[in-house]
């Protein structure tokens, strides 16, 4: 118990929390099965984010039973805040694989080997700052200085997330535009990769859709904390479920339906084909290129 300090300006809904524990539990379980059966270990952050969502809404179930429980409030506050950062990390990793798949590094603003590191680093900063802010808010007991500090940290973390995510969307969009342009331009550098038979466009569209969901959710969270505890967004539970729970559930379901293992499998098949072609040709130059691709194959698939 936290004295007479109320963590919520409403009584948390038990029914809503139970529904989303079940829904996030199902889609997270399906994602874990997909990761294990298709060996897409790089997609583990998405599953961890799903687990955070499940435990976060369990925290809201606990809050429904005891709205003054500090532990329940901290659980839901922290985990629901930072889970989307893990979803974002998964999205960054998928773009890197799409770039490798189409041999399109020359069309990317950021070299593929740096792309994931740059955006995931920003994601980690956002994760840590939001987590610190959420922890301070949960332990504030209504102290105004602590509340203000916690809210400011959450806002800074959310702005960091928005900045890197917006930059990522720009990088992905320019890559897409340049790649499409190269297909219709005879003056563009040629590539041995026939991208017309690869599933790159479908997965880029998925990245755009999931990115839009996370961006809208993050904008909502920024507005929520900018308004403060007296604002209408923090004062009405429906907004949390409408702009956070539903949108993040949508991200997980989209990746259930269009799983990035298709990109990994297509890349493996392409690299095997290139290796086989190099062996048939038998020329020294081609053999060297084949050996170079063969040596880098595992790292490109799993980084």
* CA dihedral sign, ordered 147, 57, 244, 46: positive
The two structure tokens encoding residue 15: 């029914």
Cβ burial of 186 (10 Å; 0-12, 13-18, 19+) is: exposed
Specify whether the CB–CB gap between 118 and 191 falls below 8 A. Answer: no
- Mean pLDDT of all residues in the chain? 85
Residues of the chain with pLDDT under 50: 1-3, 186-188, 279-292, 295-303
The two structure tokens encoding residue 255: 């990746």
CA atoms of 102 and 43, how far apart (whole Å): 20
Domains in the chain, start-ordered, CATH in brackets? Answer: 14-260 (1.20.1070)
Neighbours of 155 (CB within 10 A): 19
The model's pLDDT over 73-109, given as tens digits with 9 standing for 90+, comes to 999 999 999 999 999 999 999 999 999 888 888 899 9
The model's pLDDT over 27-60, given as tens digits with 9 standing for 90+, comes to 999 999 999 999 999 999 999 999 999 999 999 9
CA atoms of 60 and 93, how far apart (whole Å): 31
């Amino acid at each position: 118990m936290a004295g007479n300090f109320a963590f919520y300006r409403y009584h948390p809904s038990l029914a809503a929390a139970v529904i989303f524990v079940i829904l996030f539990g199902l889609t997270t379980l399906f994602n874990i099965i997909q990761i294990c059966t298709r060996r897409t270990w790089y997609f583990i952050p998405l599953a961890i984010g799903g687990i955070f969502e499940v435990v976060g809404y369990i925290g809201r179930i606990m809050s429904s039973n005891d709205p003054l429980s500090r532990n329940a409030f901290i659980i839901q506050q922290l985990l629901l805040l930072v889970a989307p950062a893990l979803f974002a990390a998964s999205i960054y990793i998928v773009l890197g694989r799409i770039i490798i798949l189409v041999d399109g590094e020359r069309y990317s603003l950021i070299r593929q080997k740096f792309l994931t590191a740059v955006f995931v680093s920003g994601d980690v900063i956002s994760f840590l700052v939001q987590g610190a802010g959420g922890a301070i808010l949960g332990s504030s007991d209504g102290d105004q200085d602590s509340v203000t500090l916690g809210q400011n940290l959450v806002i800074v973390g959310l702005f960091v997330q928005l900045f890197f995510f917006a930059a990522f969307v720009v990088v992905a969009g320019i890559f897409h535009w340049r790649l499409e342009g190269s297909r219709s331009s005879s003056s563009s550098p040629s590539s041995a990769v026939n991208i017309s038979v690869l599933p790159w466009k479908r997965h880029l569209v998925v990245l755009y859709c999931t990115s839009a969901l996370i961006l809208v959710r993050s904008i909502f969270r920024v507005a929520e904390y900018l308004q403060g505890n007296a604002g209408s967004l923090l004062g009405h539970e429906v907004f949390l479920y409408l702009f956070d729970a539903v949108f993040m559930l949508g991200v997980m379901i989209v990746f259930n339906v269009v799983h990035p293992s298709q990109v990994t499998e297509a890349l493996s098949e392409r690299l095997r084909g290139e290796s086989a072609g190099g062996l048939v040709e038998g020329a020294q130059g081609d053999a060297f290129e084949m050996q170079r691709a063969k040596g880098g194959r595992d790292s490109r698939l799993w980084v």
